[in-house]
Amino acid sequence: MAQQANIGELVSMLDSPVLSVRDDVTAVFKENLNSDRGPMLVNTLVDYYLETSSQPVLHILTTLQEPHDKHLLDKMNDCVGRAASRLPALSLLGHVIRLQPPWKHKLSQAPLLPSLLKCLKVDTDVIVLTTGVLVLITMLPMIPQSGKQHLHDFFDIFGRLSSWCLKKPGHVTEIYLVHLHASVYALFHRLYGMYPCNFVSFLRSHYSMKENLDTFEEVVRPMMEHVRIHPELVTGSKDHELDPRRWKRLETHDVVIECAKISLDPTEASYEDGDSVSPQVSAHFPHRAADVAASPYVDTQNSCGSATSTPYSSSRLTLLNTPGQPPQTLSPPSTRLLTEPPQATLWSPSMVCGMTTPPTSPGNVPPDLSHPYSKVFGPTAGGKGTPLGTPATSPPPAPLCHPDDYVHPSVLQATATPPRKEERTDSARPCLHRQHHLPNDRGLEELSGSKGSVTLSDLPGFLGDLASEEDSVEKDKEEAAISKELSEITTADAELLVPRGGFDSPFYRDSLPGCPRKTHSAASVAHGTSVNPEPLNSSLDKLGPDAPKQAFTPIDLPCGGTSESPAGNRERQASLETNILTPSPCKIPPQRGVGLGSGQPPPYEHLFEVALPKTAHHFVGKKTKELLKKAKGNAEEDRAPSTSPVEILDRLIQQGADAHSKELNRLSLPSKSVDWTHFGGSPPSDEIRTLRNQLLLLHNQLLYERFKRQQHALRNRRLLRRVTRAAALEEHNAAMKDQLKLQEKDIQIWKVSLQKEQARNSQLQEQRDTMVTQLHSQIRQLQHDREEFYNQSQELQTKLEDCRNMIAELRLELKKANSKVCHTELLLSQVSQKLSNSESVQQQMEFLNRQLLVLGEVNELYLEQLQNKHSDTTKEVEMMKAAYRKELEKNRSHVLQQNQRLDTSQKRILELESHLAKKDHLLLEQKKYLEDVKLQARGQLQAAESRYEAQKRITQVFELEILDLYGRLEKDSLLKKLEEEKAEAAEAAEERLACCKDGCSDSVTGHNEEAPGHNGETKPPRPAGVRGGGGSRGGGSGELSTPEKPPSQRAGPFGSRWETTTGEPAASIPTTVGSLPSSKSFLGRKARELFRNKSESQCDEDSVTISSLSETLKTEPGKDPGAEGKAPPSLDGPHPSPPTPDSVGQLHIMDYNETHHEHSEG
């Protein structure tokens, strides 16, 4: 609570007049807002703002940061819900939105939007509605995509409010409606700009209903005259325009500009892109001058003409005739320009009268009715006249105006900004007035139509007029004349108007003039003043030359810039120039003034102009164009482009400002209050309220316009950036072009050089070609030569071949000849041999022949003998034959027998041979088997050997252990016995000798016993450690083996014994001692036994036994005991002999391993 109170205090301090306090408090708030996330502070601030509408609070609220936006929106939602706080909440919302907070996108989701829409739908307060609509319009471009949900709400609101503009439910003040209308107009633009398809379809559906038809005709249709066809209507669709993608590309100001683009209304439209608006406008431009001054009048006139009211037109004709102008009605468009000047002369009194009169309450009007005309007329004439150097024409009011007016020339010429404001108030006022009349009139008309009371907003207008008019008494006459004239018109006109009824927009133009006329008539009737036409005429005459000057010159010339005007314009210009003597310098300022005047009159306007001259220019241009257009349109009697509600509002505001300034001037006057009452309007308080509301509305409008302006500025900035970028790019392009040129030059150069190179190349080519041809010819020649040579060689070769063949043939022949020779030789030799043979054969033959002869002789002899002894030989022969036969038989059988025997024996041999082979095979197998068995045996043997080996090692270890133990024992005893030794030395000496012999023989036998067993091989000495062990063991063993003898005796003589027996040096003793372990000691024996057993068993296992060795081994165990006592020589061992040094060396070496090895090998 305390905090809240605190905040309350602080909030109130925000409004403190002290600047520093305010700053501090603001800082405190901001800090709080940064630290605190709760809604409380924001709520308090909003409440406070709603109460006081304090500016600093507003500032804080509008700059709220992200986390608070929700609270703010919620709070505002609350406030909008409540009727009481609705308006300030809406205005706060407007403020907040216009600043475009970063969280604006959240608006579419906020509940505030629906409630705002709801409020717009149900509320009946115009101020709230106007404010709300403006807020909504401002908001729409920020949340374009949210249109989807609320689109129909927007349309409904539009429908409702547009119908409001016409139907005016409740007691709505007219003047508010102007605002409302303007805002509805803006809403129309926005909706049409953003959602054309949807909107148009809405319009179609909504206004197709009969009850809405009026509204359409009256309100919507004029609005539609101010928009172009939206391109989206052609290209887009309902869905497409609601597509968020479409909106994503556009920023807020883009949307605003988009909307502005489709507007034909110069105040709204943007023609940055050279849109279609501008040509039209520019076409109308030259006429601007005319419409500024004369538009109201033209309006009336044209409309009158169009109204085709004969009385009016006739009066018109008379009027027109007086200045000596042709009747314009005959040729409206073409003659318009010509008719303008006279119109201008006509306009001022009548129009101003008509417009400024508060028409509604007839009772009040009469006294003042005449004043406006004179007032308006007066200043215009005077104000304009003076600067232009035509004071003569100025009517009596001039003096009064002088103080003001005299300022003008200097100020205007100086074109300084601040004075311009004043200037506007005075010199520009006439123009302004004229412009303002339109809305005023309209308002009045509406009022009159609805039988409403006089609006306050109208009052300032003609109050100002009154103020200025007070002095111009002389004008009365003229005015009276004018009014008279007008009354004439109106009387006729009124008749026309009545049947027509409503002021529907098509007839809007017509009604405009109608109204003043009516009022005038009313006034005139009320006054009962007699008005004669002559003064009017005279005044017209008098004004005739004047009016154009004032009105046209200042405006026309500046517009001369747009010289593209149609010929008609030039004509008129020429005609004007003839009339106008004014120097050019004065022209611009008035124009300026007019331009400004035609816009809203807010005080920042000039700043705006300075800051953005271009915009200002546009603005002015727009304004003027619009007016021009309007004028033209009127002149052409086409009713199409009606005045936009915005413009009406503009004029209203202008008038209001005028009135206000006048009011201020008049504040001092006591008559003021009288005036109020005199007018019979509502009581002041009420009016003040109305005024305040109006001010509020104006403020809203202003803010809205400002927002738009900001959007435009944003866009302008962006465009400017684009322009600069484009310029930069152009520059870049230029640079690139330069580069390109340079490169082209380079290329040219290169091309030239390329050509050169090509030429050279071709030359070289030619040279080469000639060379080549030359060489080719050479080659050909050479080839030819070669060919010839080749042929020659070929010939030679063939010749050679022939020769060779010949040689070969010859050789063959030679060979043949040789062979023939040989053959013949051979034959020769054969022949000779045969010859010799034959010779020898001949000899033999001769010899044989001789023998034959001899034998023949012998045969003859034997035959003689045989014949002698032939009888007894045959018997013997036969017997012999038989014997031979028998013998042959015998032999044959024998041979058979022998053959048989041979066969058998051969068989036998074969048998035996196979047997032998079998045996061999068997033998081989047996051998193999034997080998196998041997191997097996060896394997087993190896295992056994290793086992034996292990045993040996074990034994060694055992021995080692035992010896170790002995050594220890001995050491103990040795120490003991050493003392006794000396005492027993003498007796021990004798004993020693005997003992020595005994021990010596003993040991020797042991050795001999063992040596043969081990073959006494020399072996590498055992390691010293073992030997040492042996030494100690020797001592130990002696002791053990001969327990009957004192150890001292044994130990002592042991060494000496060896000395005596061997005569060896003492040094050899240890070795000998080391060699004796097994032979002598019990242990040694034991070990040997073990060893022997082992070897025996091994031998057994080995089927191969070495008998002699085994015998020795077998006998040994038996001998050992004997050897203990005596030393008989072993059977097969060498005889015991005194150990020589050599034998000792042999003996002392004992290696089980080696012996064992031997055994196994043996």
Partner 1 sequence: MTEDSQRNFRSVYYEKVGFRGVEEKKSLEILLKDDRLDIEKLCTFSQRFPLPSMYRALVWKVLLGILPPHHESHAQVMLYRKEQYCDVLHALKVVRCVTEATPQVEVYLRMYQLESGKLPRSPSFPLEPEDEVFLAIAKAVEEMVEDSVDCYWIIRCFVNQLNNKYREFLPQLPKAFEQYLNLEDSRLLSHLKTCSALSKLPYDLWFKRCFAGCLPESSLQRVWDKVVSGSCKILVFVAVEILLTFKIKVMALNSAEKITKFLENVSMLFSNLILNLERKSFGKPDFFIASHSFSDIFTL
Binding site for partner 1 (CB under 8 A): 932, 935-936, 938-940, 942-944, 946-947, 949-951, 953-954, 956-958, 960-961, 964
Nearer to partner 1, 100 or 1095 (CB): 1095
For residue 147, what are the contacts with CB-CB under 8 A and spacing of at least 6? Answer: 140, 154, 194, 195, 242
316 is written with which tokens? 């018109």
First-to-last C-alpha distance (Å) of the chain: 128
Name the minimum Å distance from CB 1041 to partner 1. Answer: 23
Nearer to partner 1, 751 or 938 (CB): 938
Given a contact cutoff of 8 angstroms between Cβ atoms, the answer to whether 1031 and 1073 are in contact is: yes
Given a contact cutoff of 8 angstroms between Cβ atoms, the answer to whether 1013 and 1147 are in contact is: no
Name the minimum Å distance from CB 956 to partner 1. Answer: 7
Nearer to partner 1, 897 or 1097 (CB): 1097
Nearer to partner 1, 37 or 953 (CB): 953
Name the minimum Å distance from CB 954 to partner 1. Answer: 4
Nearer to partner 1, 361 or 955 (CB): 955
Rounded Cα–Cα distance for residues 444 and 16 (Å): 44
Name the minimum Å distance from CB 941 to partner 1. Answer: 9
Name the minimum Å distance from CB 1055 to partner 1. Answer: 26
Name the minimum Å distance from CB 1026 to partner 1. Answer: 10
Name the minimum Å distance from CB 932 to partner 1. Answer: 6
Name the minimum Å distance from CB 1113 to partner 1. Answer: 22
694 is written with which tokens? 């109006």
Nearer to partner 1, 732 or 927 (CB): 927
Q: What is the DSSP letter of 1076?
A: -
Name the minimum Å distance from CB 925 to partner 1. Answer: 14
Nearer to partner 1, 416 or 965 (CB): 965
Please list the residues that pair with 263 across neighbouring strands.
227
Decide: helix, strand or coil at residue 749.
helix
Q: What is the DSSP letter of 392?
A: G
Name the minimum Å distance from CB 949 to partner 1. Answer: 7
Taking alpha carbons only, the member of 654, 147, 286, 278 closest to residue 434 is 654
Provide the b/e sequence for 559-572 (b: ≥16 CB within 10 Å).
Answer: bbebeebeebbeeb
Nearer to partner 1, 219 or 963 (CB): 963
Nearer to partner 1, 663 or 949 (CB): 949
CB atoms within 10 A of CB 32: 18
Count how many residues are written for the chain.
Answer: 1162
Nearer to partner 1, 66 or 932 (CB): 932
Rounded Cα–Cα distance for residues 221 and 1146 (Å): 153
For residue 672, what are the contacts with CB-CB under 8 A and spacing of at least 6? Answer: 663, 666
Please list the residues that pair with 227 across neighbouring strands.
263
Name the minimum Å distance from CB 772 to partner 1. Answer: 57
The maximal CA–CA distance of the chain, rounded, in angstroms, is 246
Taking alpha carbons only, the member of 530, 368, 526, 359 closest to residue 450 is 359
Taking alpha carbons only, the member of 1086, 1057, 1090, 1088 closest to residue 1073 is 1057
For residue 224, what are the contacts with CB-CB under 8 A and spacing of at least 6? Answer: none
Nearer to partner 1, 377 or 948 (CB): 948
For residue 393, what are the contacts with CB-CB under 8 A and spacing of at least 6? Answer: 381, 385, 542, 543, 545, 546
Nearer to partner 1, 787 or 964 (CB): 964
Nearer to partner 1, 442 or 1094 (CB): 1094
Nearer to partner 1, 6 or 942 (CB): 942
Rounded Cα–Cα distance for residues 517 and 90 (Å): 41
Given a contact cutoff of 8 angstroms between Cβ atoms, the answer to whether 1009 and 1116 are in contact is: yes
Name the minimum Å distance from CB 1077 to partner 1. Answer: 17
Decide: helix, strand or coil at residue 25.
helix
Name the minimum Å distance from CB 936 to partner 1. Answer: 4
Decide: helix, strand or coil at residue 227.
strand
Name the minimum Å distance from CB 931 to partner 1. Answer: 10
Name the minimum Å distance from CB 952 to partner 1. Answer: 9
Rounded Cα–Cα distance for residues 532 and 534 (Å): 5
Rounded Cα–Cα distance for residues 183 and 109 (Å): 24
146 is written with which tokens? 């949210």
Nearer to partner 1, 657 or 963 (CB): 963
Given a contact cutoff of 8 angstroms between Cβ atoms, the answer to whether 681 and 456 are in contact is: yes
CA distances from 1068 to 863, 1055, 1073 (A): 124, 10, 9
Nearer to partner 1, 710 or 956 (CB): 956
Q: Which amino acid is at 650?
A: D
Name the minimum Å distance from CB 923 to partner 1. Answer: 20
Nearer to partner 1, 318 or 955 (CB): 955
Provide the b/e sequence for 1096-1119 (b: ≥16 CB within 10 Å).
Answer: bebbeebeeeeeebbebbeebeeb
Name the minimum Å distance from CB 938 to partner 1. Answer: 8
Provide the b/e sequence for 508-547 (b: ≥16 CB within 10 Å).
Answer: bbbbbbbbbbbbbbbbbeebebebebebbbebbebbbebb
CA distances from 906 to 109, 299, 333, 892 (A): 137, 173, 170, 21
Name the minimum Å distance from CB 943 to partner 1. Answer: 4
Nearer to partner 1, 1001 or 1098 (CB): 1098
Rounded Cα–Cα distance for residues 79 and 73 (Å): 10
